[in-house]
Amino acid sequence: MKKFLKRFSVYDLVVISLTAALGIGIKPIIVPLVHIVTGPLYIPGGAAAGGFYMLWIVLGIGITGKIGTGTLIGLVQALLVIITGFYGTHGAASIITYTIPGLLVDIGAKLLKGGFMSPAGFFVLGLAANVSGTFLSSIVFFRLPLIPLLLSLCVASLSGGIGGLIAYKIVKSIGRQGDINEK
């Protein structure tokens, strides 16, 4: 673990901790609003809202550019939820449901190599994060029947992809700002 963490600078670790905290902090704001629409359809609010809080995982890896960032963000989020009890009371299962989406973002970025730093790459990473999070939550906590599960996964795909595109725009904006500051 020590060797793994040495790959990250202090700046990277600050980005990881901030994006993890922002991802958790935005949930109580977004999910209830989305749940007004998704509740009657038996779609977990997180499926539709997930793009807005999974984007932080994609944003983190986009800013650092380092594989492993997504997993660390997911792990930090899980620990924040368990320690503070801030959002949800899923206990130790949170380690799985929060870390796996980050792990899949890292795997996706590794498979895409440098290609993940594109709109399509960010879309795929956001989609992977949200679909995996929705699937795990649906199976572990909600035990949805097949049709609502499939509907949830379709909604999660679109929401996650859009969240990935938003993350891409933010990363590009930060990059342009950096270029301006260097001149």
pLDDT of the residue at 86: 65
Residue showing tokens 């924040």:
80
Following CA atoms 79, 83, 86, 91 in sequence, which dihedral angle do they give, to the nearest 10 degrees? 80
Rounded mean pLDDT of the chain? 87
CA distance 19 to 15: 6
Residue-wise pLDDT for 22-40, tens only, equals 998 888 888 888 888 877 8
| CA gap 17, 81 in Å, rounded | 13
| Sequence ranges of the domains in the chain | 2-176
pLDDT band at residue 177 using 50, 70 and 90 as cut-offs: low
Query: For position 36, what pLDDT does the model report?
Result: 86
Give per-residue pLDDT as tens, 75-94: 999 999 888 876 556 677 88
Q: Which of 106, 97, 92, 116 is nearest to 4 (CA)?
A: 106
